[in-house]
């Protein structure tokens, strides 16, 4: 997608600067646009843990390039490659794409041990990045139909009002995003849209990242406190909710940023459709129905106690919003049960959030 008119992906490799993985440091946005160089598995793991890169697809693509760095560091030792892969796997536990990408790279090397691992893993990482971007674009082409249908049924010329939570935009993937892709596709075609952007405490990915993305694409939007959504829905100011997901099981239960469950409850109570957008790489085909065994990451309490922003001197700084002697809990994700989800928007089309609906789009997974 575009930054000041120039196209970027979230993660990439410059052929003239190897072995280095380049990322957009998302902790600096929206105040500064900085490119960070990662030259080791250790620096890449740190970038994932500290959310310099974040979002399901982006973490997966970063992990894929991390395996290229691992191939460089392992010097032909498969046991060393596995050890470095384990470090990447431990970076963040909830996002399915991370483990999916690492396993894909490990399996590839295991089947081709006599080939050049560095070339092999770099080519595969590029392929994973291209797939992610293509799948997200296809999600947009399928999902935009929902927005057009809503516009057709509105009794006035007001824009289609979409509420989204956290950042499931192009910054969360290689390109396009999942929840934002239908918005971008429809907006570029001239459909009038407006996005309600949840700030998404405690790290404010909505206020910092989604709003920055939408501004760069010229999409009208309004940042709101997290607890505003229910009021807007009850007041008839939301037409549809679209979120992303970090892990969705084959029964349609959705793990996403903390607070998603509450949006789904409010949408259901007000008769507003609640859609979840995801590429197939975000499905967890092994998790049990209900999502109770999906690991829920608990992050540092400092993220709740402190908040970052731009100070009066124009520098990014952190201030405490309460006392460090108090107790804090920082659950990063929650699980929204499938009964609250109107549908899943994937690269293969839109389906019901159910075992039958998902397997209808992915029949090859039935016997897995």
**171 neighbors 214 (Cβ within 8 angstroms):** no
Catalytic residue among 198, 226, 246, 284: 246
> Residue 340, SS3?
helix
Omega within 30 of 0 (cis) for the link into 202: yes
In 3-state terms, what secondary structure has residue 252? Answer: coil
Dihedral over Cα of 206, 208, 209, 211: its sign: positive
Bond into 364 cis (ω within 30)? no
- Beta strands 247-249 and 306-310 are unpaired
Query: Quick one: the chain helix, strand, coil %, rounded to 5?
Result: 40, 20, 40
Which token pair is 228?
Answer: 């505003």
Q: Dump strand ranges (E) for the chain.
A: 2-3, 6-7, 11-12, 21-24, 35-38, 160-164, 193-198, 221-224, 240-243, 247-249, 254-257, 274-277, 283-284, 306-310, 316-320, 333-336, 343-346, 349-351
Name, in order, each residue with C-beta under 8 angstroms of 341's C-beta and a sequence gap of 6 or more. 252, 254, 264, 274, 275, 276, 353
Q: CA geometry: angle at 309 spanning 21 and 255, to 5°?
A: 60
For this structure, is 130 an active site residue? no
Closest among 155, 34, 32 to 23, alpha carbons compared: 34
| 24 bridge partner residues | 35
Do strands 349-351 and 306-310 pair parallel, antiparallel, or not at all (unpaired)?
A: unpaired
How many C-beta neighbours within 10 Å does residue 87 have? Answer: 15
Supply the angle between the helices 56-74 and 78-89 in degrees, to the nearest 10.
150
**Coil, helix or strand at residue 359:** helix
Catalytic residues: 246
């Amino acid at each position: 997608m575009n930054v000041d008119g120039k196209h970027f992906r979230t993660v990439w490799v410059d052929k003239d600067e190897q072995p280095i993985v380049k990322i957009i440091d998302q902790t600096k946005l929206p105040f500064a646009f900085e490119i960070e160089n990662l030259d080791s598995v250790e620096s890449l793991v740190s970038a994932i843990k500290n959310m310099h890169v974040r979002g399901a697809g982006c973490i997966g693509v970063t992990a894929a390039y991390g395996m290229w760095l691992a191939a460089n560091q392992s010097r032909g030792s498969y046991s060393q490659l596995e050890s470095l892969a384990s470090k990447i796997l431990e970076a963040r536990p909830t996002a399915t794409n991370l483990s999916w990408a690492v396993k894909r790279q490990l399996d590839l090397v295991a089947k081709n041990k006599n080939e050049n691992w560095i070339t092999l893993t770099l080519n595969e990482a590029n392929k994973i990045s291209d797939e992610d971007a293509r799948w997200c674009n296809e999600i947009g082409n399928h999902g935009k139909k929902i927005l057009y249908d809503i516009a057709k049924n509105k009794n006035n010329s007001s824009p289609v009002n979409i509420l989204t939570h956290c950042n499931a935009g192009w910054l969360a993937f290689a390109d396009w995003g999942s929840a934002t892709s239908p918005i971008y596709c429809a907006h570029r075609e001239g459909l009038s849209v407006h996005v309600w952007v949840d700030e998404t405490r405690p790290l404010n990915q909505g206020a910092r990242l989604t709003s920055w993305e939408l501004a760069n694409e010229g999409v009208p939007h309004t940042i709101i406190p997290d607890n505003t959504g229910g009021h807007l829905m009850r007041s008839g100011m939301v037409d549809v909710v679209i979120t992303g997901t970090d892990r969705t099981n084959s029964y349609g239960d959705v793990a996403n940023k903390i607070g998603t469950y509450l949006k789904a409850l409010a949408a259901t109570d007000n008769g507003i459709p609640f859609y979840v957008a995801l590429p197939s790489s975000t499905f967890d085909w092994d998790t049990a129905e209900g999502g109770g065994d999906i690991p829920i990451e608990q992050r540092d309490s400092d993220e709740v106690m402190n908040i970052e922003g731009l100070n009066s001197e124009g520098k990014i700084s952190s201030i405490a919003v309460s006392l460090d002697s108090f107790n804090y809990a920082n659950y990063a994700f929650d699980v929204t049960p499938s009964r609250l989800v109107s549908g899943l928007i994937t690269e293969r089309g839109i389906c019901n959030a159910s075992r039958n609906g998902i397997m209808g789009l992915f029949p090859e997974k039935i016997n897995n």
